[in-house]
Structure 1
Amino acid sequence: MLVLESIVLGLQAISSLFTTRPVAFYDPTENGGFMLDDAGSGVGEPLNVIISGLSSSGVLTNDGILHYAQAIGFSFECLGFHLGAPQSANLGDGNGWVNQTMELRQDYADYELGTCLESLVGGNHFRQAQVFRQNGTEANSGALFLAVSQEEDVFEGHTIIPDGYNTGRDLLVAAAIGLTSHEDVTYSTVAQNLTGLLAPGSVGVNHGIATDGITVLLTVTIV
């Protein structure tokens, strides 16, 4: 009996070595990744919001993040059109640099056509897709890394406003925390400020706009 118990305990110990434990995210910079995406010309935009891999699984899919985005005031781009070259990110998960496949914009309380207004008058937006999903074999947290910013209107070429990365992040977080809902799905979101992932300042940042170095971790639970 003691021999059998020893064998079982040994198998459990071996199994634990190969079991991926749920984590909120892995720091991209610890495995050759970056906390700035690639916006071209050697600069990037800060990945300043992370949706935790410990969030409800229904939030972390492409459809799930779109549905959640619509609960906090964002939606797909105006009539599905996107102008500008895609950006890419390397999350240190073994996937290397991967292009974005979706960009979500502030919808002004109309998730079907409101982003058309955002395209005209400016507002908040962020990019998400596989490029921001940390799911490679070297760091598979499932977390979503978002590049959030506040931008000018179309007449200013949709450039980022002064302090637009901090402002965009803060506006998104303010809209997200607490209880939100969309189409009969209710979300509970808690936020945690993280330092040490992004370097404060403007070195390497697109448009030379300084950031405060804070990344916000959102844990989203479907209730």
Structure 2
Amino acid sequence: MSSPTTMVKRGDVAYYNPIDAGGSMLINAGDGYGEPMNVIISGLSSPAVLTLNGAINFARAIGFSEECFGLHLGGYMSADLGDGNGWVNQTIELRQDYGNAGIGTCLESIIGGNHFRIFVQNGTAADSGALFLAVSREEPVTENHDVVPDGYNIGRNQLVSAAVGETRYHGIKYYTTSQNITGLLEPGADGINHGIAQDGIVTLLTVTIY
């Protein structure tokens, strides 16, 4: 991708590599550990997808929704996307809704499932508009919502599988393509929350409204 020092307007680049400007592909999970941002929604996606409401609607199209009754469970995590904003808390956390966008996430909060946190690359130093997602599959509340074994890879793959191709929600139709990228994340468990290894693959999704 283009260097953050290159003058490129939003909509002309898929994303900037956070590491190029001193950022990280790991979000801050506390105690010195991180969780991988393993999916990126490209800045070349339809602009409406890259807004908060647009991202929520797309999430609903692929089986996720806002948290149970709007109540956030667990801590807020932050990320530095190398865009000049420094460490910024997640914009929103979305959970698997088990087929019911209204109350399905309440079930996920109890029995576990897939979920992701969104971070927006929109600082003046690297304004791609891309959405960086930290995706993982988690245990039920009785296990403190810890990530399941291999949960980073599993969560990413489940989200991508649900997203690719044609989806729709609330009258909006999406067509999504994917590309696996290596070199952004270091494979393995070094520095990763819960000591769970991940394969180092980041999937780039390009989402087009049609």
TM-score range, shorter chain: over 0.9
| Per-residue Cα deviation, 1:40-70 (whole angstroms, up to 9, x for no partner) | 0001110000000000001000000000000
CA distance in 2 between partners of 1:169 and 1:117 (Å) = 20
Q: 1:89 aligns with which of 72, 79, 86?
A: 79
CA distance in 1 between partners of 2:73 and 2:124 (Å) = 32
| Residue 20 in structure 1 maps to residue 15 in structure 2 | no
Match in the other structure for 1:167: 154
Match in the other structure for 1:156: 143
CA distance in 2 between partners of 1:85 and 1:20 (Å) = 34
CA distance in 2 between partners of 1:72 and 1:27 (Å) = 26
Match in the other structure for 1:77: 67
Q: 1:179 aligns with which of 166, 170, 180?
A: 166
Read off the aligned partner of 1:60 and give its amino acid letter: L
| Per-residue Cα deviation, 1:53-102 (whole angstroms, up to 9, x for no partner) | 00000100000000000000000000111122200000000000001131
- CA 1:57/1:161 → structure 2, altered by over 3 Å: closer, same or farther? same
Match in the other structure for 2:32: 42
For 1:44, what is the secondary structure of its paired residue? Answer: strand
CA distance in 2 between partners of 1:36 and 1:18 (Å) = 26
Percent of pairs with identical residues: 63
Match in the other structure for 2:47: 57
Q: CA RMSD in A?
A: 1.1
TM-score (norm 1): 0.90
Match in the other structure for 1:98: 88
CA distance in 2 between partners of 1:113 and 1:190 (Å) = 29
CA distance in 2 between partners of 1:206 and 1:93 (Å) = 24
8 Å CA contact 2:91, 2:120 repeated in 1: no
**Structure 2: runs of 5+ lacking an equivalent:** 1-5
8 Å CA contact 2:137, 2:155 repeated in 1: yes
| Per-residue Cα deviation, 1:158-192 (whole angstroms, up to 9, x for no partner) | 10000000000000000000000001100000000
For 2:27, what is the secondary structure of its paired residue? Answer: coil
Aligned length: 204
Of Structure 1 and Structure 2, the greater strand share is in 2
CA distance in 1 between partners of 2:202 and 2:149 (Å) = 18
**Structure 1: runs of 5+ lacking an equivalent:** 1-16
Read off the aligned partner of 1:188 and give its amino acid letter: Y
Read off the aligned partner of 1:20 and give its amino acid letter: K
Once superposed, which parts of structure 1, at least 4 consecutive aligned residues long, lie more than 4 Å away?
Answer: none
Of Structure 1 and Structure 2, the greater helix share is in 1
Read off the aligned partner of 1:33 and give its amino acid letter: G
CA distance in 2 between partners of 1:85 and 1:183 (Å) = 30
Read off the aligned partner of 2:174 and give its amino acid letter: Y
Q: 2:185 aligns with which of 176, 184, 198?
A: 198
CA distance in 1 between partners of 2:138 and 2:50 (Å) = 26
